[in-house]
Structure 1
Amino acid sequence: MAETAQMTEASGVANATDGSGPDGAVGPGPGPGPGVGVEVEGRHVTEPGLTYSRYLRVPELLALQTPSVAEDAEEALFIVTHQVQELWFARLLTELAQARDLMLAGRPRWARSRLGRCLVVDRTLVASLRPLGTLPPHAFHSFRGRLGTASGAQSAQYREIEALCGAPWFRVDRLPPGLTAAERNRLRRRQAEPSLWDAFLHLLRGAGLAVDTRAERAASLARLARGQAPAPEPGEPTEATGPSGAVDLAEVAEVAELLVQHDALWAEWRNAHVLLVERQIGRLPGSGGTSGVPHLRAMLDRRFFPELWEVGDPVTRADATAVG
């Protein structure tokens, strides 16, 4: 990303999904606040008199929205919008990782629930960009110079979402400058983990479908789209079976559909972002050294799960061709 949501990816906040702090140390994240509760025989007991503000750390939260020039309402809007994006990135990372783990455990029904929540977060991310549409270009340029070399391309969490989804283009050795050592290490760890795509292939494999080659995956995904399940091995445990005992691929097919919807909503976010950037900087280069809008437009056709987008029932496809 660049410019308008350049700060979307530039917060450098610690990742809430793995508990890593600013120094890269891994451990539990902070609780509601000092003095909020105490440990009694291994149980967390809420302190009497706990308030909404203390529980949510509202004063600390609001203190983070300090523009570089006091009382600059336009820059404050810019900062708030991007900080909100980073908070939702953190939540999305947690939900996507849990969906992945459920798929790896062979529990597509539960994975569907997590992925459904991810779609709500995706839509919220798109909607939360809209306030920036009220920021006139001249207002943005009044503080743009204060961004320096800060760029949305430096958002570790945005890159982490790409890695977790198994984005074909993601590579740790091609990260932009500006990331901290802790962020780069976190991204290396994330790339070494199974991705959402890996977990989905695990589901297909568990259902008896071949996934070792692209051709095998294409055939298996076509069977999945048509609901053609292979017969299970005698005594093989499955989460969902049809009345005849054959594997019921309906749950796996619904997971595939949710992955496509997540992909589509992420593409919608990219498109909304590039339109904001184009309105605010036109043909100017991005603050992080990119070409700006052309750089962002080159990424609009990217898909996390391209093989799912290539799936189509051959019969339906043939009918569509005939009709066309």
Structure 2
Amino acid sequence: MAENPPPPAAPLTYGTYLRVDDLLGLQRLSSDPPEHDELLFITIHQVYELWFKQILWELDRVVRLLATDDRARARHSLGRVRSIVKVLVSQLDVLETMTPLEFASFRAHLESGSGFQSAQFREVEFVLGLKDAAAVRRAEHDAARGRLQARLAAPSLWDALLAHLSRTGHPADPADDAAVEDALVELYRHDPDAAGLCESLVDLDEGLQEWRYRHVKMVERTIGAKMGTGGSAGAEYLRSTLRPAFPLLWSIRSRF
């Protein structure tokens, strides 16, 4: 007896391609009865994690492109990341529509959870060159620790830039900041295309610092000087992170 043919596969739709049902099932409120503003808080931070994933995807590509000296496409991807960072900043406008009382209505349900624990954002910092071995030890599970350990050992975007510049006529000892500064000053004066690549990094760095600053002010606006969730120092800690990822690209400004 012939077997019945398998039923035809369901056609791919917008919802099945994007797994919309799965996505919309991820916003699970901890408050009961539900506090209205908790959904906004969860949505904003889940979207941040999606953008962090995309930023890592793009920055890893930039590192690979610089390894092959594909400067034009590296700049294109850096421009995309800069545009994403603008979106990260604009999301704070939405989060700031939540008043201190509205946040307080569900804050206790966060328990020990804190944005300080975002492994993906630590990965972004590591890729940029802001590496911290202690962050690996603080990671909340083995998978995150493994990713961070790999990022800690891998060349950063800054490492990739200096290696690319060395291969294309601007050598400098990466361990000697003064030598790197001299090389950067010379390329800014004589190699506009290389200088444009460096300016793409400055654009990105400035955008990230803007996001950090806005994050500080949002936290101050929402919880003032209180401790952050998860035992962090809140706004005080965030102010300590207001530093550039590529300090030598900023320090050379006084030499022109």
Same-fold call, TM cutoff 0.5: yes
Q: Is the Cα contact below 8 Å between 2:35 and 2:105 reproduced in 1?
A: no
Relative contact order (C-alpha < 8 Å, sep 6+): which is higher?
A: 1
SS in 2 for 1:210: coil
- Once the two structures are TM-superposed, the CA of residue 72 in structure 1 deviates from its matched residue by 2.8
- Once the two structures are TM-superposed, the CA of residue 174 in structure 1 deviates from its matched residue by 4.1
What's 1:255 paired with? Answer: 197
One-letter identity of the residue aligned with 2:168: A
- Aligned partners of 1:83 and 1:136: how far apart in 2? 20
Question: Could you tell me which of 52, 56, 61 is aligned with 2:14?
Answer: 52
Unaligned runs of 5+ in 2: 1-8
- Aligned partners of 1:107 and 1:50: how far apart in 2? 36
Structure richer in helix, relative to its length: 2
Question: Could you tell me which of 91, 95, 108 is aligned with 2:58?
Answer: 95
What's 1:61 paired with? Answer: 23
Q: CA, structure 1 residues 313+268, in 2 after alignment: closer, same or farther (shift >3 Å)?
A: closer
Percent of counterpart pairs with the same letter? 41
- Aligned partners of 2:193 and 2:35: how far apart in 1? 51
Question: Could you tell me which of 131, 142, 148 is aligned with 2:105?
Answer: 142
One-letter identity of the residue aligned with 2:182: A
Range 67-76 or range 183-192, more displaced: 67-76
What's 1:266 paired with? Answer: 208
SS in 1 for 2:127: helix
**1:208-247 → structure 2 map (5 Å cutoff):** 208-212=169-173, 213-227=176-190
- Once the two structures are TM-superposed, the CA of residue 250 in structure 1 deviates from its matched residue by 2.8
Question: Could you tell me which of 290, 294, 298 is aligned with 2:236?
Answer: 294
Q: Is the Cα contact below 8 Å between 1:116 and 1:258 reproduced in 2?
A: yes
Q: CA, structure 1 residues 176+290, in 2 after alignment: closer, same or farther (shift >3 Å)?
A: farther
- Aligned partners of 1:278 and 1:73: how far apart in 2? 22
- Aligned partners of 2:148 and 2:204: how far apart in 1? 21
What's 1:115 paired with? Answer: 78
Q: Is the Cα contact below 8 Å between 1:204 and 1:210 reproduced in 2?
A: yes
- Structure 2 residue 93 is the aligned partner of structure 1 residue 130: yes
Range 48-57 or range 136-145, more displaced: 48-57
- Aligned partners of 1:142 and 1:132: how far apart in 2? 15
The Cα offsets for residues 22-52 of structure 1, whole Å up to 9 and x where unpaired, read as xxxxxxxxxxxxxxxxxxxxxxxxx562211
- Once the two structures are TM-superposed, the CA of residue 128 in structure 1 deviates from its matched residue by 1.7
- Once the two structures are TM-superposed, the CA of residue 304 in structure 1 deviates from its matched residue by 0.6
- Once the two structures are TM-superposed, the CA of residue 182 in structure 1 deviates from its matched residue by 1.2
- Once the two structures are TM-superposed, the CA of residue 119 in structure 1 deviates from its matched residue by 0.8
Q: Is the Cα contact below 8 Å between 2:66 and 2:74 reproduced in 1?
A: yes
CA RMSD of aligned residues (A): 1.5
SS in 2 for 1:128: helix
SS in 2 for 1:64: coil
One-letter identity of the residue aligned with 1:179: E
- Aligned partners of 2:137 and 2:93: how far apart in 1? 26
One-letter identity of the residue aligned with 2:245: F
The Cα offsets for residues 260-294 of structure 1, whole Å up to 9 and x where unpaired, read as 11110000110111111111111111112122111
The Cα offsets for residues 214-273 of structure 1, whole Å up to 9 and x where unpaired, read as 22111110011112xxxxxxxxxxxxxxxxxxxxx3332111001011110000110111
- Structure 2 residue 149 is the aligned partner of structure 1 residue 188: yes
SS in 2 for 1:150: coil
- Structure 2 residue 246 is the aligned partner of structure 1 residue 283: no
SS in 2 for 1:277: helix
Q: Is the Cα contact below 8 Å between 1:109 and 1:251 reproduced in 2?
A: no
What's 2:244 paired with? Answer: 303
SS in 1 for 2:37: helix
One-letter identity of the residue aligned with 1:307: L
TM-score normalised per structure 2: 0.91
Unaligned runs of 5+ in 1: 1-46, 228-248, 317-324
Q: Is the Cα contact below 8 Å between 2:136 and 2:148 reproduced in 1?
A: no
